[in-house]
Each structure stands twice: as C-alpha cells, then as structure tokens.
C-alpha cells in the first residue's frame, strides 16, 4: 500500500497538511500552496458546537479587508533536544502556550473551564480568548476590546493544529478572519522546521480603518526601536542603518501580530537550544495579496 504522505510530497511538493518542503520564502512559493489554508473550515461537528455556544465562524470570504495576509514564521531545527521527538516538541508547545507567546502582545486563555480540559486532551473544538495589546499603548489601543478576539481549534493532529477566528459574546469580532496553523515539516536528515503561518483578512471596515490610520504609529514605533538598537551598539558598534519602513498596510493590528509571531519564533528556538538541541530563527515572510486574485485562484 503506498505511503499517502510520500504520495502527497511527490504530487504537491509538500508535507500533507503542512508547508512546502522546499522551505523557501513565501514569495517564492506558488500562491496555490496557500489555498488549503485559505479555504480551510472547521469540521461540521465543530461548527455545530460553535452554534450551540452562540458563536460563529469568521469566514475569510466575508471579511472587509481588500487584501489577504499570507505570512510564514519558521524555526529551523538541526537537532532536537535529547529524548524529544518532533511530535513531543509540538505537543509541549501546544500544552504550554504561556512559554511561547509574548504576553506584552497577546494572552491566550481558554474561553471556559471545559475548554481548558479539552485543550489538554483532545484539542479539536477548543475555544480560546486572546487578549491583545501593545506595550506603551495598552490592551485595546484605547478602543475597548476591539482588538481582542476568539479562536477555535478547527484542526488538530500530532504534527499541527489550526486556529480559526470566530465571533463570540465575550470578545465580539476578531480583528482578522481566517486561519493560523502551527506545525512542523520534517526535512529529512534529522532536520525539522517548526512554523506558524496564516491566511487572513481584516474582518470589518473599522479594523481596516484602524490598520490604515495607525501606519504612522507603527513607523514611529519601529524608528524608536531602531534608535535604541543603534545606541546600544555604541560608537564602535554597527554602522547606522536606516530602519526598515513598514509599507502601506502595516498598521497596529498587523504590526502587533508580526511582533507576537517573531517572539514565538525566538521562544521556540530558545527552548530547543536551552534543552540541548540546536535551532535558529528562520526568515519570516509576509505578503499582502489582493483578495480577488486569491479568491479566483483558490476556487
């Protein structure tokens, strides 16, 4: 009987349900490689449970944002910690989220007591509340809980899980509509790439406005961080380099998310290195693609 994962690799060039094994920047990967995540939906049982709890899925197709965000944050592991398999590390990350998510930017809490029990055992269908904010600005950007949100575990296996954004009574709308995957790709020869990647759009016109209107705040934030780095380098440190500009679609919602997932990369790598393994933070990539193009491509 043929190996289904090997067959999927041969046909599609990627791990079944994972990121392409070429492990190259997202800009060099066919946009079709994202269609599985763009079109991913929770199974019917999970959808029925959400409805029974008064929650509803944020369909990416119904979001207001004109562009879809496609991002990928890898951690390249040359050697896992002794006695730990890739499945073990994946499970540890899943069951110890506080160790890998920077609480300056987001705090993940099970939505209810039953969700906490479920996440520890059979995670599919677990709902989380995410309290999002930013240092110096505070939770909510002064806009109540507009940037908070809820997610449901809409897929779960030994090698990955997917959070899909939902509307809930406690959090209202999530700022983005879509899916974020946490998983790993076995590259062979003992090398493994852990990653998080997402396909999502800004949910409402208000979210899109907040993103557009806070681009200047993001610019100032990055400029301040860059200046601090230059001062720390001292007169004999690295030569001055202008800070990277953020572009036209990187207001606070996307900037805070970018910092959160960069922190996730750093924490996963630090955990591996601190437990006898060898890991480095890989190249983060993010694209903002016109939704109509992706929608047509992923029919």
Decide if pLDDT at 42 tops 70.
Answer: yes
- Model confidence at 179, pLDDT cuts 50, 70, 90, reads very high
Question: Hey, what CATH class is 4-214+251-297 in?
Answer: alpha beta
- Model confidence at 105, pLDDT cuts 50, 70, 90, reads confident
Residue, of 166 and 141, whose pLDDT is higher: 166
pLDDT in tens, 212-270: 666 655 555 555 555 555 555 555 555 545 444 444 446 667 777 888 899 999 999 99
- Model confidence at 275, pLDDT cuts 50, 70, 90, reads very high
**pLDDT of amino acid 208:** 73
Closest among 196, 197, 205 to 173, alpha carbons compared: 205
Calculated CA dihedral for residues 33, 279, 97, 130, nearest 10 degrees = -50
């Amino acid at each position: 009987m043929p190996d289904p994962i090997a067959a999927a690799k041969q046909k599609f060039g990627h791990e079944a349900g994972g990121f392409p094994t070429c492990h190259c920047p997202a800009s060099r990967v066919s946009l079709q490689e994202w269609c599985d995540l763009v079109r991913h939906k929770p199974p019917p049982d999970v959808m029925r449970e959400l409805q029974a709890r008064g929650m509803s899925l944020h369909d990416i197709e119904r979001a207001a944002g004109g562009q879809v965000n496609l991002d990928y944050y890898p951690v390249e592991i040359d050697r896992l910690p002794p006695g730990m398999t890739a499945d073990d590390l994946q499970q540890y990350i899943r069951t110890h989220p506080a160790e890998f998510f920077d609480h300056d930017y987001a705090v993940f809490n099970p939505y209810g007591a039953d969700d906490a029990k479920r996440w520890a055992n059979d995670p599919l269908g677990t709902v989380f509340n995410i309290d999002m904010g930013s240092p110096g600005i505070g939770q909510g950007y002064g806009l109540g809980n507009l940037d908070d949100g809820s997610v449901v575990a809409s897929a779960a296996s030994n090698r990955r899980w997917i959070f899909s954004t939902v509307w809930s009574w406690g959090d209202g709308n999530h700022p983005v509509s879509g899916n974020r995957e946490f998983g790993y790709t076995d590259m062979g020869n003992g090398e493994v790439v852990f990653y998080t990647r997402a396909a999502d759009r800004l949910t409402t016109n208000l979210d899109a406005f907040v993103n557009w209107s806070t681009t200047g705040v993001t610019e100032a934030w990055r400029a301040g961080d860059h200046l601090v780095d230059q001062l720390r380098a001292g007169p004999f440190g690295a030569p001055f380099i202008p800070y990277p500009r953020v572009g036209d679609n990187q207001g606070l919602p996307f900037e805070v998310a970018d910092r959160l997932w960069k922190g996730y990369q750093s924490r996963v790598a630090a955990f591996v290195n601190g437990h006898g393994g060898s890991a480095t933070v890989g190249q983060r990539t993010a694209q903002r693609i016109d939704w109509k193009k992706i929608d047509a491509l992923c029919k």
